[in-house]
Structure 1
Amino acid sequence: MAESADNLEAILCRNGTETPEPVKAEVSGTIPPWLQGTLLRNGPGLFTIGNSSYDHWFDGMALIHSFTFKDGEVYYRSKFLKSDTYKKNITANRIVVTEFGTLSVPDPCKNIFSKAFTYLLKVIPNFTDNNLINIIRYGDDYYASSEIQYINQINPLTLDTTGRVNYRNHIALNLATSHPHYDDEGNTYNMGTAIIGLGKPKYVIFKVPAHATDLKDKKNLKNPALKNLQQICSIPFRSTLFPSYFHSFGMTENYIIFVEQPFKLDIVRLATAQIRGVTWGRCLKFDQDDNTLFHVINKKTGKALSTKFYGNAFVVFHHINAYEEDGHVVFDLITYKDNSLYDMFYIKNMRENRTSNKSSKDISPPICQRFVLPINADFKGNSLGSNLVTLENTSSTAALQKDGSVYCTPETLFQGLELPEINYKYNGKKYRYFYGSRVEWLPQSNKIAKVDTATKTHIEWTEEDCFPSEPKFVASPGAVDEDDGVVLSSVVSVNPQKPPFMLVLDAKDFTEIARATINFPVHLDLHGLFIPQSS
């Protein structure tokens, strides 16, 4: 495994290449005839520009990929996101825009000796627009996204970058997540953070309607869906100078679940970051002595439940799913004991871990946990410390405290899985299965798995020298069973004799249905979405 780790680190940190015209893959097996559409993927793909290199894996310039399924064939193409950051860096032939873990030298901000918060006001609005994390749909448009106030619109067919959008032109926020939710009507829900310069610091939850129904001349209007963006609510920070970091959130039929975790952004440290020569990634800290607060917000009224639900300190990046059952809100997420996962992806640490033969035992492992919040419990009829959870088949607890708050402990569903995926038709609904990257070695898994939450069992796919990306579930037309469909994953290999391929698995038993081999370089990515042909 050490040799594979060595080769994988080289693959992860190499510069990717564009494949601007569609390349037909070589299909072995049989791709279901109903599988028609495009899988869009996003991730870092350019790590060295001129003589400068990025310090963190999450800083590389975004490389957009598409895998188009048509009549049993697969076509691959890729293009770098032509963000303003990309253009500036390429023109200068060096890194001139600061990223999460990499300082530009020199930094484009010239007012580095101004007062701390004056500097902060200048930096945040002019932050990088290198959207390398995910693909978001707003209305009929698609955007490359990261965790900043900018998103870049892309053409899902050609992968051309067609324009940049500033969230601040539509809503007052500085940061936004790359993991929104979509309801059955096609509306998009997302949330972000308003830090400074936009009124009182707060978290903001907003909705983008599926259709711009109130706008005239919608065909000639740029970003029509965003013109109808609606703020659902705002939530004040627990601590004005230490807002919680968040990467995703949960959504049920009636509620938004926001986990305010003790993994925090130090605002003062951020305000003076350039003066001290540190990146904003170094302004995040985990407070193990704090607790985690669970906010439950009514989607229609924008009001949060008055009961304070909380749990022990942990770090969370990805939610799996959430739903309501018999007066409870159930939400599943992947937790860590600390923030060592982000630190591990500093390229220097990746190399040191590999050369010193460190393993995943040195890093807090991901644990899939289930929390259950009794939102309709009768507190008056229960004694202090009693478990308010009345659902069967769960070991999650919620104990009433003297101050009227409820302390929650989770049930462990599974250990060692990240990048979770579900049948999205069950998003916000009671479900049984989720899929993800099976983490037994970091920084990247060489397995993908399907977890059964009812039986607490799992099945896996793996192949020697192969490293699959985040799995994506696509349901069969007219499917009745939750796991009736396929799981797609882009796979790269550390074996130079084995080219990359798109893997197609039967979602029920994880048997391989087909693979589409691509005789061009494909870079390992992060997240994406599947666009059916009819969309």
Structure 2
Amino acid sequence: MNKRRCDVISDIPKYFQTLDDDEKLDALKRKVKNGETVFDNVDPSVWFRNCERELVDPLQAGDIQGTVPAWLDGVLVRNGPGTWNVGNDRFDHLFDCSALLHKFSILNGVVTYQCRFIKTDSYVKNHAARRIVVTGFGTAFVPDPCASIFQRIATLFKPGSDNTMVSVYPIQDQIYALGDSNYMQRIDLDTLDTVQKIDLARDVTILHQTSHPITTSDGKIFNLGVHLTSTGPRYCILQLNEVADNAPKLVTSVPVRWRFHPGYMHTFAMTANYYIIVEQPLSISVPRLVRNSFTNQPLATCLKFFDNQSTTFHVLDRTSGAEVHRFRSDPFFYLHIINAYEDTNNSIVVDICCYRNPAMLDCMYRDALENIHSNPAYAQMFRARPLRFRLDLNSNQARSSLSRRFSWNANQMKKNTGKFSGHSETNADKLSKDKEKRFATTISTAGKISKHKTPPKVEPSLICEVGCETPRLNEKYQGRKYKYFYAISSDIDRDNPGTLIKVNVENNTCKSWSQRGVYPSEPVFVSSPNARKEDEGLLL
């Protein structure tokens, strides 16, 4: 991979080499040599569409094919890239595009549509300057040619991007736009106005959180973040029910594997009794983060993939907060966990959309998309497969050694907001006792995994021979044994790269839907009223 982006260390694991088709790759190389289009059915221009104006007032759909069920009553809000352009500048990476919300209101068979840009600080600053002035994931800001040397130096110390372009999530009676950062944006559901910016790092030193929280059956909302302490980063479980008051609740935490290289996290998993943290060997280099504050480099340059290191599965008890089991597997990269649940024989099943390495992040650069037809390896770089990992909790090798007991309380958390966090103890001491109670609940971990034990290795099984991304399922089966999930096929070398798939995880089969020229978004399942079957409902 290009060294200016995400470093990849060592070789490709043998297991993921099975995803390659050397014969097909050779055929694609011949196409490039002959000047032919490499991927016949791929139109990269779909990624480069720009929203020229917002739709503030609802626009009614004029041509509906088929019938919208009368019982379908609600609002679908989607979040994603809205424009590549700021004045004459263009973003370099898809993840940096200005976030655009799409709202579909459905009532009595009538559908209306609205769209609004999320007015983040980054959006406002960029568009006020008519150029890119905030560095993002893969795009560095453009220095002002009229600025003095001192003004240019000063801009290096401004906060990074708060662009929340990944997901939108309901919390309590509000909705929030999220990205893989410490920022959230509260959105007015009626108007799509941006109401409030939430900085989770204000009270609890959170480097970032995932963009995919999980809601339990009793209404509690949890997420995974990276918490900075004086002893180094820790993966932490957050409860977000009170986030409107800037007060996430820190539930429990576990140390990162490499002190200066916490793993990049986009999602996590929960079952009835456990939190599952899948620590992939794609890391965020803390030294590079510090360097970037002086050199104006984007976040992507801080990513480092240790291809010769295992992926680690941390299993934390939801009652005690203790890490009670740990497993390892061959290294892989992932963005999304499909589902996880506790199965018979005291095991946990974790289903994940896996890539052999993070090369797909490079596929999202503007120049990579523009030159997709001259890169025969693009399909391999973007190829993911749904893999099943079965964690045997009966394994003595995976169990924790209950030799020590840790208790993190409010005073310790105040003390741990110093060295790594950028918040001094003086600032922490100024927090009111009331605020302490809101964010610094006591955490007890009843044990510690012995450093001298090598966690047992888990060999995954292939669920289905099909590419998959943005997986969703019937939310009633989140954290429970399930049969179906829905996703978008990520195989761009298939007949139709914009394919919607339904995967049966019990018999390892797949059904698909596609239409020429149509690229569906992440499928959202809506259960029918009084549904008796898991898959009885609609896909939006």
Q: Is the 8 A contact 1:360 1:440 kept in 2?
A: no
Q: Aligned equivalents of 2:454 and 2:94: distance in 1? A: 44
CA shift in 2, pair 1:350/1:301, >3 Å: same
Q: Which residue of 2 aligns with 1:483?
A: 535
Equivalent residue in structure 1 for 2:489, among 413, 426, 438: 438
2:70 aligned counterpart, secondary structure: coil
TM-score of the pair, normalised by structure 1: 0.78
Correspondence 1:413 to 2:463: yes
Equivalent residue in structure 2 for 1:363, among 381, 385, 406: 381
Q: Which residue of 2 aligns with 1:466?
A: 518
Q: Is the 8 A contact 1:65 1:79 kept in 2?
A: yes
Q: Which residue of 1 aligns with 2:244?
A: 223
CA shift in 2, pair 1:410/1:274, >3 Å: same
Pairing 1:304-315 to 2, within 5 Å after superposition: 304-305=323-324, 307-315=325-333
Q: Which amino acid aligns with 1:295?
A: H
How far the C-alpha of 1:9 sits from its partner, in A, is 2.3
Q: Which residue of 1 aligns with 2:279?
A: 260
Structure (1/2) with the larger strand percentage: 1
Q: Which residue of 1 aligns with 2:267?
A: 248
2:46 aligned counterpart, secondary structure: helix
Q: Which amino acid aligns with 1:164?
A: K
Q: Which residue of 2 aligns with 1:21?
A: 57
2:124 aligned counterpart, secondary structure: helix
Q: Which residue of 2 aligns with 1:391?
A: none
Q: Aligned equivalents of 1:279 and 1:145: distance in 2? A: 19
How far the C-alpha of 1:234 sits from its partner, in A, is 1.3
* Consecutive unaligned residues in structure 2, runs of 5 or more: 1-35, 399-451
Correspondence 1:52 to 2:89: yes
Q: Percent identity?
A: 33
How far the C-alpha of 1:2 sits from its partner, in A, is 4.8
Correspondence 1:301 to 2:330: no
1:346-377 CA deviation, whole Å, 9 max, x = no partner? 101111223x1536444151010111111134
Q: Is the 8 A contact 2:143 2:152 kept in 1?
A: no
Q: Which residue of 2 aligns with 1:527?
A: none
Q: Which residue of 2 aligns with 1:333?
A: 352
Q: Which residue of 1 aligns with 2:479?
A: 428
CA shift in 2, pair 1:296/1:366, >3 Å: same
Q: Aligned equivalents of 2:397 and 2:260: distance in 1? A: 34
CA shift in 2, pair 1:325/1:7, >3 Å: closer
* Consecutive unaligned residues in structure 1, runs of 5 or more: 213-221, 381-401, 489-535
How far the C-alpha of 1:105 sits from its partner, in A, is 1.6
Q: Aligned equivalents of 2:106 and 2:351: distance in 1? A: 31
Q: Which residue of 2 aligns with 1:373?
A: 391
Equivalent residue in structure 2 for 1:141, among 165, 169, 174: 174
Q: Is the 8 A contact 1:112 1:274 kept in 2?
A: no
Q: Aligned equivalents of 2:91 and 2:194: distance in 1? A: 23
CA shift in 2, pair 1:130/1:34, >3 Å: same
Pairing 1:380-399 to 2, within 5 Å after superposition: none
CA shift in 2, pair 1:319/1:410, >3 Å: same
1:405-434 CA deviation, whole Å, 9 max, x = no partner? 211111110231111010011000000000
Q: Aligned equivalents of 2:391 and 2:161: distance in 1? A: 38
Q: Is the 8 A contact 2:382 2:490 kept in 1?
A: no
Q: Which amino acid aligns with 2:291?
A: T
TM-score of the pair, normalised by structure 2: 0.77
How far the C-alpha of 1:195 sits from its partner, in A, is 4.3
Correspondence 1:200 to 2:221: no
2:457 aligned counterpart, secondary structure: strand
Q: Which amino acid aligns with 2:249?
A: Q
Q: Is the 8 A contact 1:335 1:368 kept in 2?
A: yes
1:278-298 CA deviation, whole Å, 9 max, x = no partner? 321121121111111100111
Correspondence 1:78 to 2:115: yes
Correspondence 1:103 to 2:153: no
Q: Aligned equivalents of 2:220 and 2:272: distance in 1? A: 13
Q: Aligned equivalents of 1:13 and 1:97: distance in 2? A: 21
1:43 aligned counterpart, secondary structure: strand
1:466 aligned counterpart, secondary structure: coil
> Which 10-residue stretch deviates more, 252-261 or 269-278?
269-278
How far the C-alpha of 1:270 sits from its partner, in A, is 2.2
1:39 aligned counterpart, secondary structure: strand
Q: Is the 8 A contact 2:379 2:493 kept in 1?
A: no
Q: Aligned equivalents of 2:395 and 2:513: distance in 1? A: 42
Q: Aligned equivalents of 2:189 and 2:375: distance in 1? A: 41
> Which 10-residue stretch deviates more, 455-464 or 360-369?
360-369
Q: Which residue of 2 aligns with 1:529?
A: none
CA shift in 2, pair 1:53/1:164, >3 Å: same
Pairing 1:115-134 to 2, within 5 Å after superposition: 126-134=159-167
1:58 aligned counterpart, secondary structure: helix
1:308 aligned counterpart, secondary structure: strand
Q: Is the 8 A contact 1:337 1:364 kept in 2?
A: no
Correspondence 1:62 to 2:99: yes
Q: Aligned equivalents of 1:91 and 1:133: distance in 2? A: 23
1:269 aligned counterpart, secondary structure: helix
Equivalent residue in structure 1 for 2:508, among 431, 456, 475: 456
How far the C-alpha of 1:193 sits from its partner, in A, is 1.1
CA shift in 2, pair 1:147/1:112, >3 Å: farther
Equivalent residue in structure 1 for 2:252, among 222, 226, 233: 233
